[in-house]
Every structure is written in structure tokens, then in C-alpha cells.
Structure 1
Amino acid sequence: MSDDPEPAVNISGGAAGGGAAAEFDPATADTHAEAVVDRLGELYWQKTYGGQDAFTCLVRTILSQNTSDKASQPAHDALLERYDGDDVDLAESLASAEQSTLAETISSAGLYNQKSETIIDTAEWVLEAFGSAPAFDAFVKDEDPATVRDTLLEVRGVGPKTADCVLLFAGGRGGVFPVDTHVHRIYRRLGIAPPDADHETVREVLERDVPAAKCGFGHTATIQFGREYCTARKPACLDDPEACPVADSCDQVGVYPATGEVVDPADAPE
């Protein structure tokens, strides 16, 4: 289990953030995916989403790409300490940043040269397209979610997960289920998405089968479940089928307790 579990109540974006509490009852779930999210609702916490500054959230998500929170959080903190402050537009500050200095500042996040270039390019785009970080924040919170997503996906270095995290954590939009590596692995392993589904297909399945009010929670809770139980190389069911809280809802695609073998669901024999 994790040495740093999520607290019983964890409000993402502050108590004033958007969203509403959902009821988690696997017995009344309409789909397999909803039943799993409801089971995680019994296991973990309930969150309220929205309220984060959109550009800060975008930068934070870029830093998190291809690395852990443990590595990316110090980089984010160091970036804000150097480039943010009272009466400072973070987009303006980063657009004018020296790339080598920014790279050094965020080095703990890995791929720091690439990420520093992406952050500077993104800051320049925000200023060109919206004029300021606050104007970008208003766009994310007020514009049609599909328009926001499509707009973000046009930016170099911003993929579907990053765009969806901005919509969820800054925009507080219901019905958004960002797909990271944990979510991609787990819902194919469970048999909810096809074994060979790409990230976008998994997202489409989940946003179709999980009620909008539960999607944000489903994303964050699945990540915690993936860290604690359904890890990539050694899921809890290998040692004890009863150790996994969703064992009775799992097809174990690519997991073979009899031999201890674990493969990506896409590589599991049909």
C-alpha cells in the first residue's frame, strides 16, 4: 500500500471549486465501468473539482508528463517560486524566460529541455491567443468544453490527457475522464475497454459508461488504485485474489496468477 495515502476528504482546487458529491453504490450501477468507480468510491475519497488557475494547471500538467508526481511537484514549486508572484502574469513571465534557466529550474521533472521549450511556447501561445493568463482562465471556465479541448490540442506538447486535466481541475467540467497510464492499463485489464484500445478509445468508453458526476472522481481514484493495488508489474491479485478490492469485477486481462506472469492487455492471447 502507499506510504502517503490520500486523505479521507481531498478538495481539488479549493472548497469553492466546481462539482458535486456523487453517490457510490455498486449495487445500483448501470454499467461495469460505473460499478468499478462506485467500488473505488467506497474505498477512497470524494473530491470537488475546479477552481485551479487554468494556465498554472496547464503548466503543472506539462511538467507531470512521463514522470511521477514525486518528481514533478518540486519542479512545479520551483517554477512558481522563480517566475510567479503578486501582480505577475505567469504567462508573461514564462514567455520571456531564458530557456536554459527554466530548464534548470524544472530539472527534477525529467525531460527538462523539452518541457521548458514546451512551457515557453505555450506561454507565448496564451499571450498571442488570449492576451493574458486570466483571459485564458476565463476561456477554459466559460467556453464550450469541446471547443476548449480542441483548442488545447492544437498546441504543441499538449495531448488529450493534458487538455482533459485542464478541463477537469481548472474548468471543473463534469463528464471529463482524463486517461493516464494507470487508467489506460486498468480499464483494459478489467475488461471494460478492448485490450488493444488506445488512450482515446479508453476515454470514450469511460465517458460513455460512467455518469458525468463520477468521471472526475473516477480519474483520481483510479490513479490511486493503480499505485496501491493494480500496479503495472505486480498487481495485488498475484499474491492474493482477495487483496484486490475490485477482484470480483476484473477479467484479469494479461494477468496470470498461476504463473505470476503479467503482460500488457494488448499482448494477452485471445
Structure 2
Amino acid sequence: MINKQQIGEALKIIGDMFPDAHCELNHKNPFELVVAVALSAQCTDVLVNKVTKNLFEKYKEPEDYLKVPLEELQNDIRSIGLFRNKAKNIQKLSEMIINDFNGEVPRTREELVKLPGVGRKTANVVMSVAFNIPAIAVDTHVERVSKRLAICRWKDSVLEVEETLMKKVPIDDWGVTHHRLIFFGRYHCKAQRPSCEVCPLLEMCREGKKRMKVKKENVK
């Protein structure tokens, strides 16, 4: 595994590559972000944004989601995977926000994860993006990049990846680090075809060096 100094160097390079990394889920307030992130499970941000463009015009407040039959909400998000379960969760979390949190999205992880369909990752996104509370959300991109760069161990769980990043990254940088790792994984260090040949992190990346070695051997 690489040390804290190397992690800092790697994150600086990634920051130079993606200085404008940000949350790509369109939203205007914390509640819309909760809904968008809940919809994004096993789905691309691009598709979620297509759906929420009309969804957020129709449903402005938690109360609006409870005014329609479940079947109508399901139909409104039908193009998204797992739409039936997600529609149920949106109605349930809307009801809980109204009844348990006075109509406001809670700010703590402990309260956020009580909302149906909201796990630790979603809670961390909401805390960081909506409320500017330091948190690192580990999605598939953050996990993949962290393991390829040997910031974490291959066998580490998502929670262990999060805990390692929290230990090795200054707390003030948690939010921006989360977004930059996502952009790096989404647009450069992709799951199937990472851009190892042109990667400025190749010399410190165990996965990249391994892939390039195999590629050279196959050329012989």
C-alpha cells in the first residue's frame, strides 16, 4: 500500500486532472438530492438527470409524492432500474421526512440512514454536497480507484475503504476528494478500459503497471 505522502501526491495529480469535479446529479435543494441519489443506485447519473428533469417539475415537496398513487410514481420513474422499489422508498422517505423531521432533510448520518432507501453512501453524499459536512462517499468508482492505486487493500470492504480514506486524507479535503476520485474513475480509470498508457499516475499504480506489463508481453 502507498503511504500518506504518496496518497497526497496522487490526489494532487487527480485534482489537476479534474479541478472542477462535482456532484453530477442535478438538484436544487437537499430533498431533491436525497431523491436523486436514491434513484441513482445501479443507475447512471445521466439517466437519473433525464428522469428528474420532469420529476422535479411535478413533485416539489415531500407532500407531493404522497398525493399520487404508488403506480403513478412508478410510471414516472419507469425508465430507471428497480423503479418499483425506488418509488416505494421515495414515498416512505417523504412520509418520514414530514412526520419525523418536520419536513426537513436531516443533517446527520445516523438520521439520514433511517430513511428508506438511504444507506451510508447516500447519507455521506447528502451530508457533503447538501450541507457541506465533511464526509467521503465510497461508490464503485472511489472503491476501484482506491484499490488500484493501493490506497486500500483489494480485500477491503466499502466501509474499510471509507475509513482508510478518512484517516489518510485531511478532513477539509474529504468532499473534493470524493468528487475527484469519482471523476477519475468514471472518465479515466474506467472499470473495463482504464487509460493506463496516458495516466500520470502509472508509476505509482500497481494495477496500471501490471496491465502494461501484460500488454507488452502480449505484443511480443
1:154 aligned residue (114, 118, 137): 114
Q: Provide the residue aligned with 1:220 in structure 2.
A: 179
Q: Distance in 2 between matches of 1:48 and 1:210?
A: 18
Residues 209-252 of structure 1 show CA distances to partners (whole Å, capped at 9, x for unaligned) of: 11122211111111111122211111112xx2xx0122122121
More helix, by proportion: 2
Does residue 250 of structure 1 match 2:202?
Answer: no
Q: Distance in 1 between matches of 2:76 and 2:22?
A: 31
Q: Does the 8 A contact of 2:22 with 2:179 survive in 1?
A: no
Gaps of 5+ in 2: 216-220
Q: Which residue of 2 is the match for residue 83 of structure 1?
A: 59
Alignment-derived partner of residue 17 in structure 1 = none
Shift of 1:59: 0.6
* Residue number in structure 1 paired with 2:8: 34
Question: SS of 1:257's equivalent?
Answer: helix
**Are 1:57 and 2:33 counterparts?**
yes
2:218 corresponding residue in structure 1: none
Query: Are the aligned partners of 1:149 and 1:164 in contact in 2 as well (CA < 8 Å)?
Result: yes
Answering whether residue 147 of structure 2 is matched by residue 171 of structure 1, we say no
Aligned to 2:65: 94
Change in 2 beyond 3 A, CA 1:99/1:40? same
Within 5 Å, which residues of 2 pair with 1:98-177? 98-132=69-103, 135-136=104-105, 139-140=106-107, 148-174=108-134, 176-177=135-136
Query: Structure 1 CA distance, aligned partners of 2:20 and 2:75?
Result: 36
- Aligned partners of 1:63 and 1:75 also within 8 Å: no
**Stretches of structure 1 lacking an aligned partner (at least 5 in a row):** 1-28, 85-89, 141-147, 261-270
Distance across 2 between alignment mates of 1:78 and 1:48:
22
Change (3 A) 1:57 1:68: same
Identity of aligned residues (%): 27
1:67 partnered with 2:43: yes
In 2: Cα distance, 1:211 partner to 1:52 partner:
28
SS of residue in 1 equivalent to 2:87: helix
The TM-score, its normalising length taken from structure 1, stands at 0.72
RMSD: 2.3
Going from structure 1 to structure 2, the CA distance change for 1:254 and 1:247 (only over 3 Å counts) comes to closer
Q: Deviations along 1:86-122, whole A, 9 cap, x unmatched?
A: xxxx111113332111111112322111111111111
The worse-fitting range, judged by mean Cα deviation, of 159-168 and 250-259 is: 250-259
